[in-house]
Amino acid sequence: MTSWTWAAGLGGIGLTGAIAVLAAGSFAGHQPAAAAPPAATADPSNLDSTATIQPQPAPQDSFGGSNQPPAAVSGGS
Amino acid sequence: MLAAADFRALGTGVRVVTAEASALEAALAAVHKLLVDTDEACSRFRDDSEISQLNRAAGQAVRVSPLLFLAIETALRVSRMTGGAVDPTVGTAMRIIGYDRDFAQLPADGKFTLAVRPVPGYERVRIDHSRRTVTLQPDVELDLGASAKALAADLSARVAAESAGAPVLVSLGGDIAVAGEPQDSGWPVLIAEDSAAALDSPGEVVSIKAGGLATSSTTVRRWRQQGIERHHIVDPRTGAQASVYWRTVSVVAASCVDANAAATASIVWGPDAVPWLAGHHLAARLVKANGEVVRLSGWPAAVAV
């Protein structure tokens, strides 16, 4: 059973939708394209065959420099 | 016109920004609810949280809430993604190096111990999707801190944008997620070593329209144990705090979870992070311990404010 399937059974439409969308994007339809230098080792019982284990870059043209006053700060915490 | 509100939750600063002032109240309510749920499910510092109960039940299959299940599943995915550089079984190691309570309650100079060892490893966490159960092998203690905060940012941004019907930015301690149709120019974000920095602090400003932006740093959330300076990023290979090659790493990705995972793993990996980030086309800004800045995969040159 994939994540979004059980997520669909949650109460609370907002959280349900958020988990479903996030889980679908995170766990479905991708296969590893390249191994990371530190080789991943995992217990096969924990592996979801539909899961991507590669980080996904931001969509093209969704990121760049800015000279606008910042709305938030990204830093360590 | 942007509207914003700040408060504290999950032991860190939270900032919610909406593109329309009329959307802020609904966005705030949605974020607050999600963070309360996350705290009850994932906080290692609460005896009554679900994860604390799970940690006390090592060796048994425990049925957990959908939110905690997703958080654990996400943490395991992050571990696989990073080859174990970010590992949720650091719970015991975090306690040993003295990070055993909310950071605000840590003593200025706590008791010292050298009993560090490699963490048990994420392979010792079993999850059963059909029963929604989690089984920790004995001596395994979960700490979802590295990924649960980023997951909460992703989830709360989506919930808030849906509830408010407007674009939303959510920052949880500097881990940022955005959702909804973005403004034309995107959300401007100041890059700093400390997420508590003032918005008018000097520094680089970048713009994101989708996904997440996260920064990991060894220069904040530090404490002392009998005179030895500690920071909160553990190298799972040793169980001790990671050595400091990069003082701060910022990464942009399709989600805050992925950005946070890449940033935290980069701190652990040191110089090996560069080919990994570039190979995955992750825009990143890395600051060496000596202050030298490395920009990767299209991270823009500095634009001073």
* pTM of the predicted model as reported, rounded to 2 decimal places: 0.81
Q: Kindly give the pairing relationship between strand B223-225 and strand B228-230.
A: antiparallel
Count of structural domains within chain B: 2
Q: What is the pLDDT of residue B88?
A: 87
Asked if residue B162 and residue B33 are part of one domain, the reply reads yes
Asked if residue B158 and residue B17 are part of one domain, the reply reads yes
CA-based nearest residue in chain A for residue B219: A76
Give the residue from B113, B146, B179 where a domain finishes.
B146
Distance from the Cα of A77 to chain B's closest Cα (Å) equals 5
Q: What is the pLDDT of residue B121?
A: 80
B2 Ramachandran zone, left/alpha/beta (phi>0; psi -120 to 50): beta
CA-based nearest residue in chain A for residue B127: A46
Q: What is the pLDDT of residue B219?
A: 80
What residues in B contact A37, CB-CB < 8 Å?
Answer: 83, 269, 272, 275-276
pLDDT, tens digit, 9 for 90 and up, residues B213-252: 999 998 866 556 566 665 566 677 776 676 789 999 999 9
Structure-token match 């969308």, residue found: A21
For chain A (length 77 residues), average pLDDT per consecutive 10? 33 48 37 34 40 85 93 93
Tally A–B CB contacts below 8 A. 269
Quote the domain boundaries for residue B238.
3-40+153-296
Q: What is the pLDDT of residue B155?
A: 98
Q: What CATH number does residue B252 fall under?
A: 3.10.520.10
pLDDT, tens digit, 9 for 90 and up, residues B175-204: 999 999 876 789 999 999 998 999 999 999
Q: What is the pLDDT of residue A25?
A: 40
Q: What is the pLDDT of residue A43?
A: 39
Domain membership flag for residue B233: yes
Q: What is the pLDDT of residue B128?
A: 96
Domain membership flag for residue A12: yes
Domain membership flag for residue B136: yes
Residue B167 has pLDDT above 90, yes or no: yes
Contact check, Cβ <8 Å, B220/A76: yes
Domain membership flag for residue A52: no
Contact check, Cβ <8 Å, A6/B66: yes
DSSP state of B304: B
Q: What is the pLDDT of residue B120?
A: 75
B73 near B126, Cβ under 8 Å?
Answer: no
Residue B206 has pLDDT above 50, yes or no: yes
CA-based nearest residue in chain B for residue A77: B173
Give the residue from B115, B146, B177 where a domain finishes.
B146
Structure-token match 């006390």, residue found: B56
Count of structural domains within chain A: 1
Give the residue from B146, B162, B197 where a domain finishes.
B146
Asked if residue B289 and residue B244 are part of one domain, the reply reads yes
Axis crossing angle, helix B24-42 with helix A13-27, rounded to the nearest 10? 70
Q: Where are the beta strands (DSSP E) in chain B?
A: 3-9, 12-18, 61-63, 109-110, 125-128, 133-136, 168-172, 175-179, 187-194, 204-208, 212-217, 223-225, 228-230, 246-253, 283-288, 293-296
Q: What is the pLDDT of residue B235?
A: 72
Domain membership flag for residue A25: yes
Asked if residue B191 and residue B208 are part of one domain, the reply reads yes
Asked if residue B58 and residue B36 are part of one domain, the reply reads no
ipTM: 0.85
Asked if residue B14 and residue B110 are part of one domain, the reply reads no
Q: What is the pLDDT of residue B113?
A: 47
Please give the order of strands across the beta sheet that includes B61-63: B61-63, B133-136, B125-128
Asked if residue B230 and residue B180 are part of one domain, the reply reads yes
Q: What is the pLDDT of residue A16?
A: 55
What span, in angstroms and rounded, lies between the C-alpha atoms of B106 and B127? 32
Q: What CATH number does residue B82 fall under?
A: 1.10.3980.10
pLDDT, tens digit, 9 for 90 and up, residues B12-59: 999 999 999 999 999 999 999 999 999 999 998 899 999 999 999 989
pLDDT, tens digit, 9 for 90 and up, residues B78-128: 999 999 889 888 766 666 555 555 555 555 555 544 445 667 788 889 999
pLDDT band at B147 (very low <50, low <70, confident <90, very high): very high
Q: What is the pLDDT of residue B284?
A: 98
- Best residue in B190, B247, B272, B293 to probe A by mutation, most A CBs within 10 Å? B190
B305 near B203, Cβ under 8 Å?
Answer: yes
Quote the domain boundaries for residue A24.
1-29
A8 CB near a chain B CB, below 8 Å?
A: no
Asked if residue B139 and residue B185 are part of one domain, the reply reads no
Q: What is the pLDDT of residue B229?
A: 61
